[in-house]
Every structure is written in C-alpha cells, then in structure tokens.
Chains A and B, each alone.
Chain A
C-alpha cells in the first residue's frame, strides 16, 4: 500500500478507534490503576470519608487467596459450567422443536421464548416465590427444602432459574442456524439411509455448529458475569451463591475500591482465558474454513 493511502486509512478508522479508546481502553487502564491504590481509608472526626489515595502495589490482590474470593470464583465457575452445559442441550432441543412444528408454529416459538423476554430481576422474584419453603417446588417434590437459604440447594435453585431463563436464547440462535440448512441435504441423507440419530450427529449438529458456538460463547460471557439472579433470588452477600460480580459489587459499595478493581481485573483475565480456550478448541475449524476460502479468492 502506498504511504499516502495508509495515512488516509488510519484517518478514516480514527473515529472508531477513538471511541474504543474512550469506552474500552480508558476504563480498563483506570481500573488497573485503581487496583493498585487505596482510597477513602476510614472516616475523619466529622464522619466524612477521608479524601486522597495511596499507592499500595499488589496489596489489593492479596484477597485472591482469601476464602471469600476463592468461594466466589468457584461459584462463578460452577454456575457457568452447569448452566451453559444444561442450556446447550435444552436450547438445541428447543430449536429442533421450534424448527420441526408445522402447526401453531408462532405459538410454540412465542411460548419457548417468553422466559428470555422476562427481565432477570422479575424472573428472580418469580423463582424465589417458586422456591419458598411452602412454594411450588417443594409441593411438587413433596419435600421441605429451604431452597433460598445458604447451602447447595441454593446453588441448584439458581442454576435451575438461570437455565429456565436463558436456554431459549441458545434455542433462538440455533433455530436461526437450523433454518439456513437446505432441506435437500436432509433428503440426501435420507436416501442414503441415515437414521434420525445419524442425521442429527453427522449432518444437523456440524452444520449448526457455527451458530451454536456463537450462542454458547455469548452465554459463557454472560454466565461468568452473573449477578442479578442470585442477588434477587437468594439475597445479598449469601456465601453459597456469591459470584465474582457480586463480590466486586459488595467490595465497591463498602468503599473498598482497590480490591474491587483488583477482582475486576482478575475477572476480565479469567473471561479472556476462557473465551480464548473456547474459540481455540471449537472455533479453530471455522477459522480454517474462512482462511482457505480467502486463499482461494
């Protein structure tokens, strides 16, 4: 490329870069800086927060080995793995149902998608009602479980509620992927004698993979940042369901901005690693396909 046109290209993309710097890079760097300072240490004689900040290096990161952070980290990981795994299976099943129905298609799709449309805070309240001591859940299983109190059952309740809410999201994206597979491909498989099971594993799933990978990736990102559902359903600062986001929020509201920023940085790093590994493992094939197409052109 000629030198002049390169400068012109840089000029043309500069507004976008400027916006990215303002909304992504600056907050990130600010958070990184914040994570190495301590602010508002205590109150003065008049009850006001002491102004000014002090550099403390990596001291704010000391909490990483603390019980609370490790617990929040474990909770976040468990929630992400459990909800995304169950949602993927349910979402694909929902997509197949939505794709398959011939009559009352609109009704089936709408009813499957409603959970996704309900605001999380509202569905949290709804599920808290379901999981009351004398609630629907206990009535159905005939037990007296205190779902919304500390313990494994609280984790399970959150996983169930989150799955209910977001499996339709995967279903919707996978449905879009299913709809672009031509019928003829299925017919070819049928004439070749493929069973429904073989067709699903060897034809449908590989062809819907690009859409599924994107859907699962979105869900992983959301699940790693989970905050509102455990907060509304179980409550604030509940050890057994406290996620990283909830921990960060709690630290920040108690004026411990430094540790909050430090945990935030760790959360970003964690999300980045997970996404990188995920794209590497499942998206590699996609990228190879795009590359070879580019080479041919």
Chain B
C-alpha cells in the first residue's frame, strides 16, 4: 500500500509541482498517474521513489512512513523512461545489480537474474551489453531489473513511450499480464490516456500539481468530473460547448436538447464524445446543425468535423457513412451520453439512475 498525505513539493523559484496531494493506493493495485507534461506526475513518482524530497506532507509505503527514508531503503524498484541501464554491464549484471547491492551471493543473484530474464524472454541476451539491444529488449531488461529484486512497489516512469507504436501495444499487454501475475503495487506515470485506460485499475488525472479526478478507467472515461478531465480522456477530444439550462431544456449551439434531471437553470457547459453522436443528413431540432468542414479517416470509422456557427463539433461516423466536405449535416447526441458541467463540475446525474431524458 502506498499513501500520501498533504504531499507538497515546491521547487526553488516558487513553482508548486505538487499541491497538497492525498491518495491511497491499495496493495497489488495497478495505478496510473495521468496528465499532460508539466502536470507534476513525474515529480510525484520521483517523490514516492525518494529522488525528490517533499516540501511538506508524508508518504507511507507498505504501512511504513518513508518521507525521509533514502530511495535505496524504500524497497521500491523504478523503471525509467530511458531505462537507465548501466552501459558497461551485460544483461545479467544489470538485472542482478540491485541484488548485488543487497549483498546477495553471486551464484544466487545470477540464478535469480537468469530466472527473471527467462520470464521476460531475455534468456538469449544475457551476455549482451545494453548498446547491443533493441529498444524493446532494453525496456524488458529494465523491467527485469525491477522484477528481480522483488520490491514492495514498482514505479514506472513512462516505460512505453520510447517504443514504436506496434511494439508499444505488445509491451502494454505484456506489462499488464506481468503485473497481474506478480501482484505488486504499481504506480505508472503516463501522458497517454489510452495507456492509462488500458492498463490500470485506477487512474489519477493530474493538472498543475493537483488531482482533477481519481477513479477507475470506466469512471474517468464515462463520468469525467470536470471539463479538464473530459477534454483529456478519450482518443478523440470531447465536444465541450457553452449553453444555458432553462424552461425544461438545454440550449446549446443552436440545438434544443432534453434537460437531464438535477441540472439547475443557468449557464452550463455541454459535453459529448464524438463517438456518442450520430450524423443525420436531414434537419433535426435536437441536433447541432453545421457544414462538414473536415473528414479524417480513422480506419474503421471517420472523424467528421462540423462547422456550426463559431463552434467546431466533431462526430465519429462508421465506415462508408462519411459525408463529403461542404454538405449540410446534423450531429445528434445519443440519449443519456451527454455530460453537463456547471462551474466546471459535473452536474448531470448517472444515466444508470434513469433520470436522464
């Protein structure tokens, strides 16, 4: 278990990288720190590792307070973005290095390194140096180094971001299975929302040193708590449009839409994912009217951008149904899929409650 209480890190010059963070990560949980660059996610990971000292607040790992414990005594293993392998050591020596520091006898640590390496399909490469390995192999060596010392927690700093796209998908699946098998608490830093959704049990979305939302991938994807999270999560950005609630309806960008229960009258922000809208070529009142400006091929679908007054509205249409640019079209939000924000807080109720529409 990893716990944070009021964790704050201020860098010289007054930059607040971490701003009073509270968090509990359960034993064996695969936990993502997700956010754009500069949001503090890497600083948080490094603070958990002990490479940075917090300005205030406390950290517990496995029930022990470790706030002022040096990194090597926290019993965590870290995988760095550039892997940080030791260039002058072969794979065996790299994997066995943490064990060597712990004075594990040579025969035992080399056996453990070989065993871990075989689990990560590195058996053929034991005598190689990092410079003689491909990016994917280096990444697995870095993982093996972390796995071999049986730590209380894994700390991963964007370990997949230096791999090419196809390899990244393979490595992702592999990583998820490995984490399940080992059941070691894992904190995973990423700026890739897809990676966070696919891999982890829970996600903390970060912005400017704070958590904007902490929840399961499903929660974060379906019910983003604020417009920042709404805009950040999802492979195509969510449509976020200003509007007003009143007279039993939502008026957004020229469309009159059903008012979900529990939304008070007044200005709102209306959010709907491009995947949750259908495109109609005939006029409808409960739809956003516009002109097709751009059509982007996504492979199995197309992303259509409508120009609707001063707004751009995006919707995903299935293969073969894409309109040609310049035609008039209407984007129809699917019932129950819309999110309504007021003062940057989600106010529309869960669709499961049946209150929507």
Contact = CB atoms under 8 A, between A and B. Distances in A.
A292 B132 contact: yes
Contact of B131 (A185, A188, A203, A293): A293
Q: Which of A189, A193, A195, A293 has the most CB of B within 10 A?
A: A193
Contacts of A292: 129, 132
Nearest to B93: A202
A206 B88 contact: yes
Contacts of A67: none
A187 interface: yes
A191 B82 contact: no
A184 B101 CA distance: 18
A194 B72 contact: yes
A103 interface: no
Contact of B51 (A191, A192, A207): A191
Interface in B130-151: 131-132, 145, 149
Contact of A191 (B77, B87, B132): B77
B338 interface: no
Contacts of A207: 86-88
A198 B97 CA distance: 11
A190 interface: yes
Contacts of B88: 206-207, 209
Interface residues of B, number: 28
A13 to B, nearest CB: 30
Nearest to B149: A192
B86 A191 contact: no
A190 B73 CA distance: 9
B43 to A, nearest CB: 13
B50 interface: yes
A188 B84 contact: yes
B78 interface: yes
Given A184-B80, A185-B86, A191 B129 contact: no
B349 interface: no
B304 interface: no
B132 A293 contact: yes
Nearest to A184: B84
Contact of A190 (B72, B82, B86, B132): B72
A187 B80 contact: yes
B96 to A, nearest CB: 10
Contacts of A296: 132
Interface in B89-104: 97-98, 101-102
A289 interface: yes
A187 B78 CA distance: 9
10 contacts: A184-B84, A187-B51, A188-B78, A188-B80, A188-B86, A190-B71, A191-B49, A191-B78, A198-B101, A207-B86
Interface of A: 182, 184-185, 187-195, 198, 202-203, 206-207, 209, 289, 292-293, 296
